[in-house]
Amino acid sequence: MMAEKEKEKEKKHALLLGRYEMGKLLGQGTFAKVYHARNVKTDEDVAIKIIDKEKILKGGLIAHIKREVSNLRRVRHPNIVQLFEVMATKAKIYFVMEYVKGGELFNKVAKGRLKEEVARKYFQQLVSAVGFCHVRGVFHRDLKPENLLLDENGDLKITDFGLSAVSDQIRQDGLFHTFCGTPAYVAPEVLARKGYDAAKVDVWSCGVILFVLMAGYLPFQDPNVMVMYRKIYRGQFRCPRWFSPELVKLLRRLLDTNPDTRITIPEIMENRWFRKGFKHLKFYVEDDHQVCSLDDVESDDPGSASDQSMSESDNEPMTPRAKVPGMPRPASMNAFDLISYSPGFNLSGLFEEGGERSRLVSHAPLSTIVARLEKMAKDVDFTVRKKDCTVTLEGPASGTKGPLTIAAEIFELTPTLVMVEVKKKGGDKGAYDQLLNHILKPAIESLKAGDPGEEGSLKREDSDEGSLRREDSEEGSFKREDSGSA
């Protein structure tokens, strides 16, 4: 018995941070190594990026690491590798990330060009994810096949946001000025070193990727890097004979050397070649951790193709606004729960980000409160989702911080008294305060016991809200170059 306990103790000590069983090395760079690992508590496969603190301190990359973490938390999407948690010891920083089993898209392209329908599928997923990032003010700036992974279902996942930037970094001239990217994928305006629009730079890289997927080689390539840069700067490339006229036309707009006339993400999503078989992906985020996909929706009408209203919230899939019967009885609160809500004892702020909360008390029954929340949501054009005794409301607009998302959780204080705890889960704080104070609070506080909640309509007020190298023939094999800054 003692021997078994000792073995269990040794096994626990062998686990990384007490719960991750480390596996094989997946890859490594100058400052970090990435390992496959398993969470022994959930049996979930993850990838753990282990960063040497001393090396990044010497390299002055602390701000770089913080930016990568911040940006990954900002862009939770089914086609972006997810960051689950970040931990640190005195010597190491650990990124616990989604494990993507299919490897790099680079490896698939290195075997030869892809069929048009396959290349189009990857390009559609890439553009959808990049557009999602741009709406949230995040720009990747190093898109290339090596930074695109494939999962077990063959779906694309963007990774490596190490060179990404946010709109907050834009200078007074409205442009970025950092010279970065991978040589063969870098846009001509970056080479000019006069400032650039990072969204247009990502579009250029998407164009180079599409060309590579369809041709099997790079549009701009030369053994002499300076000669290659001149080709990029002049936009000198030739499409192979198997490219359709529609594809050629799209590539000419993607690889337009003038960023002012270069095609935009919404315009790409309305393009005829792009839209063939395109499915607009709906999804939600469960418990700020896992991205969950809903059924794909065919996008045959022009309006839906450029729609950016992807859900980024916290509970169950979107449901119709009609009331779902049989919600469970709300959780009861004891004296200790109530004490913990007083300002002097509430420690939730130490563990939660953006925890704007408000608590309302009502004598109305659960069904009446839920009906009132649903009516309020309908009047301001919000989507409603329900799970247990939590009602999540999500707005239609999507700013840099995502759609305004509010969760209202209902607790039972006594058999005739309930508390509604309202929390902002996403979106702009100003918009949240306005909705809370001018619409939600009055709607709940006006309820009485037995009130069916059918008052007049509520009106919404406006709120603010290295790469690939071509060899010998046009369809030659590829070699990997060093990635990183151009």
Which residues are catalytic, by number?
Answer: 142
Chain-centre distance for alpha carbon 455:
39
The token pair at 59 is 């390299």
Burial string for 394-429 (b: 16+ CB within 10 Å, else e) reads bbeebbbbbbbbbbbbbbbbeeeebbbebbbbbbbe
List CB contacts of 332: < 8 A, sequence separation 6 or more: 411, 412, 413
User: Concatenated DSSP letters for 357-372?
Assistant: EEEEEE-S-HHHHHHH
Select from 391, 383, 374 the least CA-distant residue to 312. Answer: 383
List CB contacts of 429: < 8 A, sequence separation 6 or more: 354, 356
Residue 387 known to bind ligand: no
The token pair at 24 is 């094989």
| Residues 291 and 285 sit within 8 Å (Cβ to Cβ) | yes
| Residues 405 and 425 sit within 8 Å (Cβ to Cβ) | yes
User: Concatenated DSSP letters for 395-454?
Assistant: -S--BTTBS-EEEEEEEEEETTEEEEEEEEEES-HHHHHHHIIIIIHHHHHT--TT----
- Binding-site sequence positions: 49
- Binding-site sequence positions for ATP: 49
